[in-house]
Structure 1
Amino acid sequence: MKILVPVKRVIDYNVRPRVKPDGSGVDLANVKMSMNPFDEIAVEEAIRLREKGAATEIVAVSIGPAKAQETLRTALAMGADRAILVQCDDEVEPLAVAKILKGVVEEEQPGMVLMGKQAIDDDSNQTGQMLAALLGRPQGTFASKVEIEGDHVSVTREVDGGLETVRLAMPAVVTADLRLNEPRYASLPNIMKAKSKPLANKTPADYGVDTTPRLRVTHVGEPPVRQAGQKVGSVDELVEKLKALGVA
């Protein structure tokens, strides 16, 4: 079985994002970029499925600028077999991403699309669901456990009430949650090998997709500064303060 793993280049999760002075967006100048953490978990899970003999090939795909090759090389160093970069210098919205991935899926015919549940830059949590709808395939979102059972995949998902297990006929779309696994570090020999692994370059036009934005960002601002807390000496004092605030 072939597994397709979409990965996105985002601001490194250890970096505090800065808003542009004019409030038009997030400042990306001279900022460390890395693979979206949820996508990294998806790559790791694909590798583990291959190690169990459930998968034979892992293809990583990214949609973004030329520098997204670095993100793909990271996926290749972790263990992906080859990569595809759909180069697009403009920001691509979730629906356009899903349409491009649909074209890649139709070309590659993977048994499973395994991707992060959301990207940490826009937090949209839409692409996986949109892709499944466009393909007409079953989906298992927020996966905390993935098990292949013949021509089906069992996905344990995290829901508000606890855990829910769904059994999907493959081919299917699965999105990875935080507790699915702990991604491995790429070893130096694998980083060197990744440089020689195949990386194909495509464009949105190759899949007949128009990436013109349908949404317009009106303003981006810093979150409000959190107010300092207050210590109280007793429960009665706490109740009085809550009453004064209209909470109790």
Structure 2
Amino acid sequence: MIRVRQLTKHFADNPVLRGIDLSIAPGEFVVVLGQSGAGKSTLLRCMNRLAHADSGDLQVAGIDAMLARDERALRRRVAMIFQHHNVVPRLSVLKNVLTGRLGAMPTLASVLQLFQRSDVELALQCLRRVELSHKADARTDALSGGQMQRVGIARALAQQPQVILADEPVASLDPKTARLVMQYLRDASRELGITVVCNLHQVDFAREFGDRIVGLAHGRLVYDGDAAGLDDAALQRIYPQLDAPAPGGAPSPLPMSAANRMGA
């Protein structure tokens, strides 16, 4: 479903991705861990051409993501969930979800937002999946932050994508709401067969929800495996600022800045 080979990306003279190799199977739920600046967001943004990689090979949902001519087709198959919701506050919840259908509509119909009844029913199904159907007619700016993020998930699902890219989708949420949002994403992956690549800072959520965990540090892949293999040594590679393990194998207390970056 996703194949990355020797992917590189620079911003000016700053190398952000340094030869990433990664393969992700259809329906897999992959969590990407790494400290701020490790390249997590840039990797996701290259996957849907919000950022353009400098070199390498990048195949996503059967499309060459390195080619500009395939950008529209790529955006139809790949949905994005952002940290800050990216909803339209003045629109209703239902209309926000319906915007996920615009890429599949003819140009004139999408400009005029002439949604078919089947689109409306699909949007309502997606709202039911995230338990927000009772808010369909509410203005989105009347919702809580967690509810807005659930609207973002429903909008992504309404797109009927093959891949969902989630860039720190729970960073601004309290732990209880964050876990609920992660459950909705995992359920969608398992029940609908959608490949999910999710950037996180929270190691506990990575272990709980990821089928597989990928770790980045300084633009390089430093871990690729399951939760069981995410031991102290692996965390040291992903988060170089971690203290050495305390006696008995338990990690030493994190500096406050590191704890914040990891979502503690």
TM-score under structure 2 normalisation?
A: 0.27
Q: Between Structure 1 and Structure 2, which shows a larger proportion of strand residues?
A: 1
Q: Between Structure 1 and Structure 2, which shows a larger proportion of helix residues?
A: 2
TM-score under structure 1 normalisation?
A: 0.28
Structure with greater Cα Rg: 1
